[in-house]
Structure formats: structure tokens, C-alpha cells
Amino acid sequence: MPKTVNPSLTPAATLGTVRPMTATHPVRIGISRCLLGDEVRYDGGHKRDAFLVDVLSQFVEWVPVCPEVESGLGTPREAMRLVGHDKGPRLITIKHGTDYTHEMTRFSERRVRELETLDLSGYVFKKGSPSCGVERVRLYNQHGMPTRNGVGLFARAFIERFPLIPVEEEGRLNDPVLRENFIERMFCYRRWRDLMDGRVTRGAIVSFHTAHKYLLLAHSQTHYQSLGRLVADAKRHAPSELAHRYGVLFMEALAVKATVRKHVNVLHHLVGYFTAQFSAGEQEELHGVIGDYHKGLTPLVVPLTLVRHYVRRFDIAYLQGQIYLNPHPKELMLRNHV
Ligand code: SF4
């Protein structure tokens, strides 16, 4: 059974706390309830997602939400779709044309306020749903012709209220790169929230930045440099303003996709810390392993495992603290597939 949180609980009253990595609070993730296997869909069915339920559940607490059921529609119910303009679509039942826009909008406003108290670190939405879909939801014009530029009403309300919280659709999580990126962002966001929950000082922000340096570099050199400048100028900002600016840029950086080329760049940076202590054979072996990764012959986990080994062996404290080497629970094996 996946761990779930009763939405009425306060943040302090947590269940089955899991604290992977350096996060100090549970990693609590919102989820479209049908993805957990609950039979809440319009046809009385579900859309259980095996990876989310059987694997990711071990490391997060789910906060399940079914906007259609919770806003008062029963199960089974008439199927609905988005109709009208992408800036303000209506939520209409397909057969009888009943308009539920008002009910869903009222519900969404209330529910996102409640979710604020649960301090979520991410949200997995059901793709394609007129309530939960994040992108490319079918939107019909007055002639009944669909385009793919709709956003589900509840998903839109959530994203507008929490622009920094990572969101993803379950379908996209089948892509190993997108899956790794989303889960990495979840844990990063949790750590940033933990930082904000403590006493926010310039020193704490600098330490946070230091620990995430190589992770940032694997995503975006531009953001890496901007964040570096922001931290270097820390004294020019009040700590709370600095933390806010940092958080916005930090989450923006992590949303930029890491690529093989960027990972290779980071790996070479890391190797530079201990290359002088290598034997010629060790150096050749490590560069060969990175080269194989670059050519697509091995996944990222292979050179990283070797780099981690040398970081431990040469006892390089600066690198031991790098989140890049350990961004999410190894049991998820996310870097075995990128
Ligand atoms: S997609 Fe959203 S509204 Fe539809 S059944 Fe799943 S949770 Fe409920």
C-alpha cells in the first residue's frame, strides 16, 4: 500500500516519515488519485501507475487528489472535456453539455489553499485529463474541433499557485531522462524548502549553493554562473530576499535538461580534483569509462560509481558534499538509464 497523507492533517502530523538524502522533512508529493489505483475515473476505473505505486512510494508520501470526485461529482459520471478558449476554457460534459466550470474553479481555489499547508515537494498529474492534465489537453472549439493546447482546470490552479513546485505527468515519467529530472527536482525543492524553514542566513545560502554547484552545472552553465554571481554578491541583499531570488533561479536551472555532454563536462571537472594522485593506469581507465558514457556505451551510473570511489579513496571533503554525486535514493536506479 502506498503511503498517503490525509489532507486534513497539519504539516507537523506526518505519517511514515521517509527522509532520503539530506532532506529533513518528508518528501510529500501530490498525485492524481486514479494513478494510485483508486477507482475514481468517470467510468469507474483507475489508471494505476506501477512505477509510482510500487517503486517511488517507498521514498515519498502521496497526497492524493481527485478534483472531479472531491468537487462533488460521483463515480461513475459523465465524461467531460474542455471547450472554448485556452485562456478561459469551460469544463463541459460531453453528452448533456452540463457546465461544471464554476464548481471546478471554486473547488480548485479551495483545494490549493489546503495543499499549501502540506508543503508539497512535487505533483504528478494524470495526462490528458480536462481537470488534471498539465499540457496538450484536448480543447474543443464551438465546431467541436479539438486542438492540443488545453490545461486541466485544477492543474492550472495548482501551477499558478505554486510556480516553483516541480510538476510532471505520469506519461512523461516513462522517459528515463524526464523521470530522473523530475525526481531530482523534487528532492532539490525539498532541500531548498528545508533551508527556508530554518534560520535563513547568507552563510546557509552559500553552503547550499556550494553543495549544489556541480548539479547546477550539469543542467545550465548560464544559471550556474548567475547563481554564482548572486551568492558572491550576497551582502548586497537581505537574507530573505537573497533566498527568494536564489530559489527562483535554482528551480529554473534544474528544469533545464541535463545532457550527456553536460554530464561529461561535470565528470571531467570532478576528475580534476584527484587526477594528480592517480597512477597513469587509473587515469586512463577513468577517462576511458567517461568516454564510453559519452559514446552511449554505458549509462551515467558507471563513470559516477568510479568517481565516487576515488572521492572516498582520496578523501576529498569538498566533493563528498556534492549533491551531484548523490541526488536521489540509489534504489530508484535513475542513473542506470540515462
Ligand atoms: S484524472 Fe484527475 S479528475 Fe480524472 S479521475 Fe484521475 S484524479 Fe480524478
Protein residue closest via CA to atom 5 of ligand 1: 41
Ligand 1: nearest atom to the Cα of 133: 1
pLDDT given at position 1: 64
Q: Kindly report, residue by residue over 35-68, the tens digit of the pLDDT.
A: 999 999 999 999 999 999 999 999 999 999 999 9
Neighbouring residues of 135: CB distance < 8 A, sequence distance ≥ 6: 151, 169
Pocket test for ligand 1, best of 36, 41, 137, 153 (most atoms within 8 A of CB): 41
- Closest-CA residue, ligand 1 atom 6, reads 34
133 contacts 126 by C-beta, under 8 angstroms: yes
In the reported structure, the alpha carbon of residue 136 is separated from the centroid of ligand 1 by a whole-number distance in angstroms of: 16
Domain locations in the chain as residue ranges = 28-174, 199-338
- DSSP type of residue 89: -
Pocket flag, ligand 1, residue 68 (CB < 6 Å): yes
Q: Would you say the CB of residue 155 lies under 6 angstroms from ligand 1? A: no
How far apart (Å, rounded) are the C-alpha atoms in residues 32 and 16?
Answer: 20
In the reported structure, the alpha carbon of residue 47 is separated from the centroid of ligand 1 by a whole-number distance in angstroms of 9
Q: For residue 182, how far is its CA from the centre of ligand 1 (angstroms)?
A: 21
* Cα 205–chain centre separation: 21
Does 83 contact ligand 1 (Cβ within 6 A)?
A: no
pLDDT value at residue 157: 98
C-alpha 195 to ligand 1 mean position (Å):
33
Ligand 1 proximity of 34 Cβ (cutoff 6 Å): yes
Instruction: Collect all residues with Cβ–Cβ distance below 8 Å to 266 and sequence separation of at least 6.
Output: 214, 217, 218, 324
Task: Tell whether ligand 1 has an atom less than 6 A from the beta carbon of residue 57.
Answer: no
Burial class (CB in 10 A: 0-12, 13-18, 19+), 178: middle
Percent of the chain whose pLDDT exceeds 70: 94
pTM as predicted? 0.92
Beta sheet of 61-65, edge-to-edge order:
61-65, 28-32, 122-125, 167-169
d(CA 308, CA 293): 16
Residue 40 CB–ligand 1 contact under 6 Å = yes
> Does residue 32 line the site of ligand 1, with CB under 6 A?
yes
111 Cβ closer than 6 Å to some ligand 1 atom = no
Q: What is the pLDDT of residue 4?
A: 78
Take residue 284 and report the three cell numbers written for it: 586512463
For ligand 1, say whether the CB of 170 is within 6 Å of any of its atoms.
no
For 311, the grid coordinates are 572521492
Grid coordinates of 321: 558534499
* 3-class secondary-structure state, position 98: coil
Which amino acid, residue 291?
A: G
Alpha-carbon distance 65 to 47, whole Å?
Answer: 14
Half-sphere exposure of 170 (CA within 13 A, CB side): 22
Give the pLDDT of residue 24.
67
CB 266 within 8 Å of CB 324: yes
Q: Which atom of ligand 1 is nearest to the CA of 47?
A: 6
- 218: its cell numbers: 550539469
pLDDT at 11: 30
- pLDDT tens track of the chain, all 338 residues? 677 764 433 232 222 222 334 556 789 999 999 999 999 999 999 999 999 999 999 999 999 999 999 999 999 999 999 999 999 999 999 999 999 999 999 999 999 999 999 999 999 999 999 999 999 999 999 899 999 999 999 999 999 999 999 999 999 999 999 999 999 999 999 999 999 988 899 999 999 999 999 999 999 999 999 999 999 999 999 999 999 999 999 999 999 999 999 999 999 999 999 989 988 899 899 999 999 999 999 999 999 999 999 999 999 999 999 999 999 999 999 999 99
Q: Read off the pLDDT of residues 116-170 as tens digits, 9 standing for 90 and up.
A: 999 999 999 999 999 999 999 999 998 999 999 999 999 999 999 999 999 999 9
Scored b (16 or more CB within 10 A) or e, 71-82 reads bebebebeebbb
